[in-house]
Structure 1
Amino acid sequence: MSKILIIEDDLSIGEMMTMYLYEEGYEVKRAENGTQGEQIFQTFIPDVVVLDIMLPDIDGMKLCSIFRTGSTVPILMVSAKSEVTDRVRGLQTGADDYLCKPFSMREFAARIQALLRRSQSFPTPVHETPAGHPIRLDFEKRCLYVNNKVVETTFSEFEIMRLFWQNEGRVYSREELLNKVRGFDTYVTERAIDVHIANLRKKIEADPKDPKHIKTVWGVGYKFLPDPSLS
């Protein structure tokens, strides 16, 4: 049974989400503020976190960053803020998806299912790079290594790297990456992929402004080269 942590201070919305997911067969716990949410997070070990941005005691963006310092758990942000800048900021902070209020419970559940599907559906072999290569992925531990040091990634960032790694040199459009990583058409569409790519470049490239591994194919999308000298 998958475990969902909902951090939502609005009583009616929080109870509605909790009840709906419970009836869908999930184990659900809900926190009414950020402090309580952080405490439950440590003991409950959720498979997905649903995080409201506007909490009474701590900004949801900040709480998302706190979770990201030690976990790659999928995070679905929910908010009444629907501006593109708010959605992009949420993704940059480390969220994997962003759902604007008001929303239907069916769409809410679909987002949860998609995040779970992506986190559970892949085989778990360890993929090593040849000696001397700076980048390495460990699928079983869900770890990305750069120069033998662990680099923290969000759920979506790791899945993008996994897809790139399994298909090195293949060019993916933004739409293809979105469909592969998300599993369905999300509200934040192609701009989300640009944000994730920019974040990954900051983490794996010596010079993110002149990337050698994650290359832009103008007018098409992106491709990954573990060894740029072979391009």
Structure 2
Amino acid sequence: MTQAPLVTILDDEPEIRSMLAAALEDSGYRTLGFSRATEFEAALQSITPDLCLLDLSLPDRDGLTLIHRLALEKGARVIIISGRAQVQDKVTGLELGADDYIIKPFDPAEVVARVRARLRQERTAAASSQTAQFAGWTAHFDRFALEDTAGEEVPFSHAEGEVLRLFLERPKRLISRAVMQEVLGGGAGDSFDRAMDVRISRLRTKLREDPKNPRLIKTIYGAGYIFLGDVKWS
């Protein structure tokens, strides 16, 4: 029997942890709650969450420092839940690899809906092709890694993988900002645009592209992006 997805809740406010745990468990998810980054990191030695709800203002560390590890090392989805409403905090969180950003106070039903949507994306991706070859690279979406012809691997985050899959599924077609927002989700506006710019820049770096003249991911100013490589899925 398949276990229900595990959602971890890292927040120093016990009322919020209890409220979210109750709402998620009523919807069929397993949950574990933590109040400090140190105890959460210790637990990561023995658990692998499917998704983490992460507060930024923790008593022992800024929650932003955990996002990259969760996204890259553990392969977990990350949704930030925070009282910080500044655009820069949202941008930074998304740039580091978070999948979504919810500002406190919130309705727990909204959080459950966002969790369900992100995990549904995960199941959809898992059910589709997991390997793509292009321009001397192999993208392994099952383990979030790019492999070159010499067998060297470069990891990418969930968030970067979503952008890469979007390009590889639509080669040689213009992908507008509106399409990216529709497919990838998240709030529209400057914070979304800046987060996408950073993720694309990081993908170009990992693909060893010349930033002044990228050969694969081309920017069409005022319109969007085009991925120019030939792609074979398996």
TM-score under structure 2 length normalisation: 0.86
Counterpart in the other structure of 2:131: 127
Counterpart in the other structure of 2:97: 94
Deviation at 1:208, TM superposition (A): 2.7
Counterpart in the other structure of 1:158: 161
Matches within 5 A, 1:1-231: 1-122=4-125, 123-129=127-133, 133-146=135-148, 148-182=151-185, 189-226=192-229
Which whole-Å CA distance do the structure 2 matches of 1:102 and 1:62 have between them?
23
Number of positions where the alignment pairs a residue of Structure 1 with one of Structure 2: 224
Which whole-Å CA distance do the structure 1 matches of 2:70 and 2:144 have between them?
16
1:146-173 CA-partner distances (Å, limit 9, x unpaired)? 4542222221211221121122111111
TM-score under structure 1 length normalisation: 0.87
1:121-180 CA-partner distances (Å, limit 9, x unpaired)? 1334343426xx332212343432245422222212112211211221111111211221
For residue 136 of structure 1, give the secondary structure of its aligned residue in structure 2. strand
Which whole-Å CA distance do the structure 1 matches of 2:114 and 2:188 have between them?
8
For residue 46 of structure 2, give the secondary structure of its aligned residue in structure 1. helix
Structure 2 gaps of 5+ residues are none
Structure 1 gaps of 5+ residues are none
Whether contact under 8 Å (2:71, 2:78) holds in the other structure is no
Distance 1:39 1:202, change over 3 A: same
Deviation at 1:74, TM superposition (A): 0.9
- 1:21 aligned partner, one-letter code: L
For residue 58 of structure 2, give the secondary structure of its aligned residue in structure 1. coil
Deviation at 1:185, TM superposition (A): 5.6
Which whole-Å CA distance do the structure 1 matches of 2:188 and 2:38 have between them?
29
Distance 1:101 1:45, change over 3 A: same
For residue 71 of structure 1, give the secondary structure of its aligned residue in structure 2. coil
Deviation at 1:116, TM superposition (A): 0.3
